[in-house]
Chain A
C-alpha cells in the first residue's frame, strides 16, 4: 500500500463496506454485522498505520500523504486530502469509535439491520472526509452528506420522539451549513475564482485582512463578516451556546451507538472547523472575537453544567455535560496560546473517549431497564443500588465518570489543566469563573452516581444482569485509552504539537 494513497484508502474503505452490506441479503444479519466489523477493524488498523508513519516534526500537512486530483476542473474544485497533527488524533478516534459502535450495535439494533450498518459505514466515510478534506468544496460536501445518514439513523432507530429530534438536528445543522456555504462562495469570489479558490491551505494565513465589502451600503470588513458566518456554522456543530438546544434532543433520541458517534466525533468536527478553517483563514477576526469566543465558552461550561445538574434523564444529563466539556475546548481555542490550543485538541480527543464511555454505559443500562430516569416522573427512584447489583458495570462506569470529571491520572485532567493554563494567560476573570465549572462538573456526576448506584437495591434493579463479555470487550479499549493517556499523554501530544505550534504562531502575528 503506497503511503501516498493511505488517506484515500481510509476514506474509501468504509464505502467499500457500504457496498458490501448493500450486496448482502437482508436476512443474513450475522454476515452483515461481521462484514461491517471486519471493515471497521481494517479501517482502524489503517489509521494506526497512518499514525505510525506520521512524521512528528512536520508542522504542516504531512507531505507523504497529500493527495490533489482535479475533480470539477472548471471551478477549480479538487479532490484534495491531507492530514496534520490536528486531524490525526481525530482520525484515530473516528476509527476506534466506529469499530466499537459496530460491536455495541451487534445486539442492540434489532430492526432493518442491513440499512443501519450501511448508513453507519457511510457516516464513517463522511467523517473521515471532513477530517481529511483540504478542498473547501469537498469539505462542504462531506459535511453535508453526513447529515443524511445521521438523519435516518436518529429518525429510524431512535427513541420515542425520534422524528422530532432528527428533523431538529437536520435543520439546525443545515442552517449552519448554509452560512458556511455563503462563506465558501464569498471566498470563491474574493480570490477571483483562481486555482486556489477552494484550497483551504492556500486561503489560510490571513489573506483577507484588508478586504472590505459593501453590504446594504455599509463598508464591512470581509474577514469579520465571514468569520462570523463560519463561526455560527461551526458553533452549531460544537454546539456553542445559544445554538445548543438540538443536542439534548438528538442525544436522547439517538440509539446508543449514534449518541456515541455524535458526542465522540461529530461535535469535534465543529471545533476542528475552527482550527482548520475559521481560524487560519481569518486569523485577524479570530483574534478580534477571541474575547467573545471565550465568554461563549465560559457560558457553555457553566450553563451546560448547571442544566446537567437539573436533569432527571441520565442520557440528557450526559448530553448537557458534553455542552459543558465542549465549552472547555472553546476556552482553549479562544486562548490562542500553545498550551491552550494543545489542550483544546487533546480535550477533543479525551472527551471523545470519556463521553463515549458514558454513552456506551448508559446504553448498556438501557438494554436492561428500558428507561433512563434517575428519578422517575412520579418521584420514585429510577435505579438505586446498581453498585451492589452490577459490580463490573459499576467499576467501568466509575472509570468513565471520573475521566469525564477530569480526575488526575485519567485523561480529562491533562487537557483541562492545559486549557486553564492557556486561558489564564489571556483572560483571568474567565479562568476564575470557568474553574467553578470543574466544581459543578463533579457535582452533577457524583450526584447522579449517588442516586443511581448507592443505597439499597431497587426491586426493579434486582432483575438486571451484569455486563456480558461482548459489552466488556468493547469497553476495555476505551478504559485503556482513558487511563493510558491520563498517565502518558505524549503519544497524542507529540503528533499534534508541531501543527498546533504553527497555528499559534500564525495567530500571534495578528
Chain B
C-alpha cells in the first residue's frame, strides 16, 4: 500500500470536515449532522483498517512511514528556524489508529441511541467529531509540538463535553476543574517541549531518539540558581503532561468530576482515548524517561495511583464514579508498566483497557438511560431486564478483573510480572509490585461489586425497576456493546490476525502484539538518525524494499538462562494474579450475593478509613478548599486592592497632589514675586495662562506638566556633548 496524502490524511480530515460542516448543519438538520459524524468516523475506521492490515501484512518490526511538510519557516538571512509537521506510522501507531477509530465508531453508533432524545443531540456530535479528529491527529503526529496541539484541542473538547449540560451548576465547576487540572500538567509538558526543542533542534520523535542516543541530553538545566541534569528535567516535564492527561496522582482529581458529561463522551474521552493519550505520550518518549533515570519515580506514581484509586472505588455508589476511579486505577497500571520497563505490555494494556472500559461505560450508559438513575443501591436484578447489557458487562468485568483468557489478564499480568521481576532485582520496586497486586485484588472486588449490585439480587427500588425501558433499547445500543465485549477476549491480542492463530496463555510464536511492538532500546537509539523522512506528495518507494519478517522471540533477546528466570518469575506472577482475581471476585460474591460477609460490618469497623475514602483522601479539599480558596483568591484580591486602591490611588494619583503643591507655590511665586515684584505685564500674561489652563480642566495637573517639561528641558540643557 502506498502512503500518500490521500490514504493517510482522511483519517484525520474526515472527522474534521464533519465537524466543520456540522457546526453549520447541527442547528438546521440535526439528524444529518449525526449521520455525517458517524459516517465520517466510520470512513476513518476503514482507512485505519487498511493501514493496520498493511502493517500486519508486512509484519516487520522496523516498518515505518514518516512524511513531513513545513508548517512555517522563519528563516531569514543567517537565522534558520523551521517548524515541520508530519505523520509517523509504525506498528504502534497503526494499532492505536485502529483502536481509536474502531472504539470511536462504536461509541458514535451508541450515541445515536443514547443522545437521541436530548435537545442538543447534534451538538454532541459536533464535539465528538472534533475530538476524534484531534485524537487521531495526535496518534499520527511525528513530533511533540503537534502532539501538544492536538492534546490541547482534546482538552478543549473534553471541557466542552463535560460542560455539555451547562444548565447544571456542577457542570461548570467540573469542566473548569478538568481543564485547569490537566493544564497544570500541560504547562510542564510545554516546558519539556521547549527544553527538547532547543537541544534537538526540532521535536520529531526519531530525532529525539537519535539525540538521546548521541548523548545530547547530557547537559545541565539551570534555573533559580540550581543546576539539574537536563535529561531528568525534560523527562519529568513530559511525564507531568502524562500525569495531567492520564489523571495520575496527585493531579487525578479531575477525572471523577469529568463524569458530569454524557456517558458516551465519558466512554470515548475519559476512558478509551484521551486519558490513554497521556500514557501513549510517555511510551513514545520512553527513551527519554530512561535517559532521565525517572523510571522508578514513574513506577511509584503509577503504583500509588493504581492502588489509591482502587480503594476509593470500593465505596462508590454511583456507577459512573466506580468506573471513573477504575479508569484512574487502570491508567496507573499502564504507568507502572512504563516504570518497570514493560513497554509492550503497557501499550497492550492501553489497547485492551480502551476496549473493555469503553464497553463498561457504554453498558453503564444503557443502564442509566434505561432507568434514569446512576445510584447502584437503587438498582439490582436488572439482568432480566437488560440481558445484552448484562452479558457485555460480565465479559468486561472478567477482562478488567484479570480472569484468564480475557484481554485484561493478558496485559495486566505482563505488567505485574515485570513489576515482580523488577522487585526481585531491585528492592526499591517491592512496594510497586505489592501495590500492583493489591490493586488487582481490589479491582476484581469492586468491579464485581458493581456488577452484583446492578444486575443481581432482588430489585431494591421497584419503582425504578418497573420503569426500566427495556423496550427502548435498540440495535444501535446493543450492537456496539456486543462487538466490544467480543474483543475482551485475550486471543485477539495474544494470538495472530494472519490466520495461524494459536492461543496460548503465556506467549506463542504467533503473538502479533509482542512480536511487532518493541521499545526503542537505549543501545540502538542512534540508528534512528538514519530514518529518512519523505516530503508529503512524493511517491512512496518503500513497497519495493523487502523488509525481513518479524519473528517471535520467546527469549526477548535475552540469554537462555536469563530468559528462563524471566519466564519463571512471570509464571509465578501469572498464578498469583489468577488467584488474586478469583479471590476478589469471591469476596464480592460472598458479600453481595450470598451475603456471608456483611458490608456494614466493614463500614463500621473501618469507619475512619471509610471517611477518608468518602472524601477521596481530601485532595479536593486541599486543592480547592485550601490552596485556591484560602490561598490564591485572597492573595489575588489583595493584589488587586493594592493595584487599584493603594498603588494607583496614592502613588500614581498622588503625583497630582504634588502637582497641586507645585501649582500653589508657583501661583504664589507668580502673584507675589513676579506679578507684584517684577514687570506687571509679564505677570499678567503668566496669570492669564494660568487662568486659561485652569479653565480647560479641573486645574489640577497642567502646571505639573509644564514644571516637568521645564525640569526635563533643564536636564537636556545641562548635557554637554
Binding site for B on A (CB under 8 A): 59, 167-168, 171-172, 174-175, 178-179, 182, 185-186, 189-190, 211, 213-216, 242, 245-246, 248, 303, 306-307, 309-311, 338-339, 342, 385, 387-388, 402, 407-409, 413-414, 417-418, 420-421, 424-425, 428-429, 431-432, 435-436, 438-439, 442-443, 446-447, 449-451, 453-457, 489-490, 493-494, 497-498, 500-502, 504-505
Q: How far is the CA of A418 from the CA of B81 in the complex (A)?
A: 11
State which residues 31-64 of B face A: CB under 8 Å. Answer: none
- B190 near A438 with CB under 8 A, answer yes
The contact of B719 among A167, A215, A449, A455, by CB within 8 Å, is A215
Q: Does B368 belong to the interface (CB within 8 Å)?
A: no
Shortest C-beta distance, A500 to chain B (Å), equals 7
- B718 near A216 with CB under 8 A, answer yes
**B74 partner residues in chain A, CB cutoff 8 A:** 338-339, 342, 418, 493, 497, 500-501
The contact of A421 among B197, B637, B698, by CB within 8 Å, is B197
- A432 near B149 with CB under 8 A, answer no
- B639 near A421 with CB under 8 A, answer no
- A455 near B712 with CB under 8 A, answer no
**A428 partner residues in chain B, CB cutoff 8 A:** 221-223
> If the complex has contacts A408-B148, A438-B190, are A311 and B721 also in contact, measured as CB distance less than 8 A?
no
Shortest C-beta distance, B383 to chain A (Å), equals 38
- A424 near B697 with CB under 8 A, answer no
Shortest C-beta distance, B105 to chain A (Å), equals 24
The contact of B77 among A175, A449, A494, A505, by CB within 8 Å, is A505
- B197 near A338 with CB under 8 A, answer no
The contact of A245 among B151, B641, B648, B713, by CB within 8 Å, is B648
Q: How far is the CA of A245 from the CA of B655 in the complex (A)?
A: 13
The contact of A407 among B152, B191, B195, by CB within 8 Å, is B152
Given contacts A186-B719, A214-B720, A245-B647, 17 further A-B contacts (CB under 8 A): A59-B77, A213-B721, A214-B719, A245-B652, A309-B633, A338-B76, A409-B152, A413-B149, A425-B198, A429-B223, A435-B188, A439-B183, A439-B187, A446-B176, A457-B167, A490-B72, A497-B76
- A310 near B636 with CB under 8 A, answer yes
- B79 near A504 with CB under 8 A, answer yes
Closest chain A residue, CB of each to CB of B134: A409
- A307 near B639 with CB under 8 A, answer yes
Q: How far is the CA of A409 from the CA of B648 in the complex (A)?
A: 37
> If the complex has contacts A186-B719, A242-B647, A450-B176, are A310 and B640 also in contact, measured as CB distance less than 8 A?
yes
Q: Does B545 belong to the interface (CB within 8 Å)?
A: no
> If the complex has contacts A174-B705, A306-B639, A505-B77, are A450 and B173 also in contact, measured as CB distance less than 8 A?
yes
**A435 partner residues in chain B, CB cutoff 8 A:** 187-188, 190-191
**A493 partner residues in chain B, CB cutoff 8 A:** 72-74
Q: Does B184 belong to the interface (CB within 8 Å)?
A: yes
Q: How far is the CA of A171 from the CA of B718 in the complex (A)?
A: 26
A-B contact pairs, 16 of them (CB 8 A): A189-B721, A248-B644, A306-B640, A339-B81, A385-B167, A402-B156, A408-B149, A414-B72, A424-B195, A424-B198, A432-B224, A446-B180, A449-B176, A497-B76, A500-B74, A505-B77
Q: How far is the CA of A248 from the CA of B145 in the complex (A)?
A: 35
Per CB-CB distance, the 9 closest pairs between chain A and chain B, nearest first, are A501-B76, A454-B172, A310-B640, A408-B149, A245-B648, A310-B636, A450-B172, A338-B79, A387-B166
**A407 partner residues in chain B, CB cutoff 8 A:** 152-153, 156
Q: How far is the CA of A238 from the CA of B632 in the complex (A)?
A: 27
**B513 partner residues in chain A, CB cutoff 8 A:** none
Pick the most buried of B179, B647, B721: most chain A CB atoms within 10 A of its CB: B721
State which residues 136-195 of B face A: CB under 8 Å. Answer: 145, 148-153, 156, 159, 163, 166-169, 171-173, 175-176, 179-180, 183-184, 187-188, 190-191, 194-195
**A504 partner residues in chain B, CB cutoff 8 A:** 79
The contact of B72 among A189, A215, A489, by CB within 8 Å, is A489
Q: How far is the CA of A307 from the CA of B194 in the complex (A)?
A: 28
| Chain A interface SS verdict (over half) | helix
**A311 partner residues in chain B, CB cutoff 8 A:** 640
Q: How far is the CA of A421 from the CA of B152 in the complex (A)?
A: 18
- A454 near B163 with CB under 8 A, answer yes
* B219-254 Cβ-contact flags toward A at 8 Å (1 or 0): 001111000000000000000000000000000000
Q: Does B643 belong to the interface (CB within 8 Å)?
A: yes
Closest chain A residue, CB of each to CB of B130: A409
Closest chain B residue, CB of each to CB of A167: B697
Q: Does B715 belong to the interface (CB within 8 Å)?
A: yes
- A182 near B716 with CB under 8 A, answer yes
State which residues 687-719 of B face A: CB under 8 Å. Answer: 697-698, 701, 705, 708-709, 712-713, 715-716, 718-719
**A490 partner residues in chain B, CB cutoff 8 A:** 71-73
Q: Does B669 belong to the interface (CB within 8 Å)?
A: no
Q: How far is the CA of A190 from the CA of B716 in the complex (A)?
A: 11
Closest chain B residue, CB of each to CB of A189: B721
- B76 near A500 with CB under 8 A, answer yes
Closest chain A residue, CB of each to CB of B23: A395
Shortest C-beta distance, A2 to chain B (Å), equals 29
Q: How far is the CA of A124 from the CA of B77 in the complex (A)?
A: 34
**A339 partner residues in chain B, CB cutoff 8 A:** 74, 81
**B150 partner residues in chain A, CB cutoff 8 A:** 408
- A310 near B176 with CB under 8 A, answer no
Q: How far is the CA of A11 from the CA of B222 in the complex (A)?
A: 49
The contact of A306 among B72, B179, B635, B698, by CB within 8 Å, is B635
Q: How far is the CA of A310 from the CA of B190 in the complex (A)?
A: 26
Q: How far is the CA of A451 from the CA of B73 in the complex (A)?
A: 41
**A303 partner residues in chain B, CB cutoff 8 A:** 639, 643
Q: How far is the CA of A213 from the CA of B73 in the complex (A)?
A: 43
Pick the most buried of B73, B78, B652: most chain A CB atoms within 10 A of its CB: B652
Q: How far is the CA of A413 from the CA of B193 in the complex (A)?
A: 14
> If the complex has contacts A245-B643, A421-B194, A429-B224, are A456 and B712 also in contact, measured as CB distance less than 8 A?
no
Q: Does B75 belong to the interface (CB within 8 Å)?
A: yes
> If the complex has contacts A429-B224, A442-B180, A455-B169, are A178 and B197 also in contact, measured as CB distance less than 8 A?
no
Shortest C-beta distance, A321 to chain B (Å), equals 13
Q: How far is the CA of A171 from the CA of B282 in the complex (A)?
A: 55
Q: How far is the CA of A451 from the CA of B720 in the complex (A)?
A: 60
Shortest C-beta distance, B468 to chain A (Å), equals 29
- B75 near A497 with CB under 8 A, answer yes
Shortest C-beta distance, B637 to chain A (Å), equals 5
The contact of B166 among A245, A418, A443, A454, by CB within 8 Å, is A454
**B652 partner residues in chain A, CB cutoff 8 A:** 172, 245-246
- A408 near B153 with CB under 8 A, answer yes
- A213 near B644 with CB under 8 A, answer no
Closest chain B residue, CB of each to CB of A486: B149
Q: How far is the CA of A472 from the CA of B639 in the complex (A)?
A: 37
- A442 near B719 with CB under 8 A, answer no
**B145 partner residues in chain A, CB cutoff 8 A:** 417
**A432 partner residues in chain B, CB cutoff 8 A:** 191, 223-224
Q: How far is the CA of A172 from the CA of B223 in the complex (A)?
A: 36
**B716 partner residues in chain A, CB cutoff 8 A:** 182, 185-186, 189
**A385 partner residues in chain B, CB cutoff 8 A:** 167
Shortest C-beta distance, A482 to chain B (Å), equals 14
Q: How far is the CA of A446 from the CA of B180 in the complex (A)?
A: 9
- B152 near A175 with CB under 8 A, answer no
- A501 near B77 with CB under 8 A, answer yes
**B153 partner residues in chain A, CB cutoff 8 A:** 407-409
**B224 partner residues in chain A, CB cutoff 8 A:** 429, 432
**A505 partner residues in chain B, CB cutoff 8 A:** 77-79
- B190 near A420 with CB under 8 A, answer yes
Closest chain A residue, CB of each to CB of B195: A424
Closest chain A residue, CB of each to CB of B656: A171
The contact of B169 among A189, A420, A431, A454, by CB within 8 Å, is A454
Shortest C-beta distance, B231 to chain A (Å), equals 15
Pick the most buried of A425, A446, A493: most chain B CB atoms within 10 A of its CB: A446
Q: How far is the CA of A41 from the CA of B41 in the complex (A)?
A: 42
Q: How far is the CA of A59 from the CA of B78 in the complex (A)?
A: 12
**B179 partner residues in chain A, CB cutoff 8 A:** 442, 446
- A178 near B721 with CB under 8 A, answer no
Pick the most buried of B166, B167, B222, B633: most chain A CB atoms within 10 A of its CB: B166
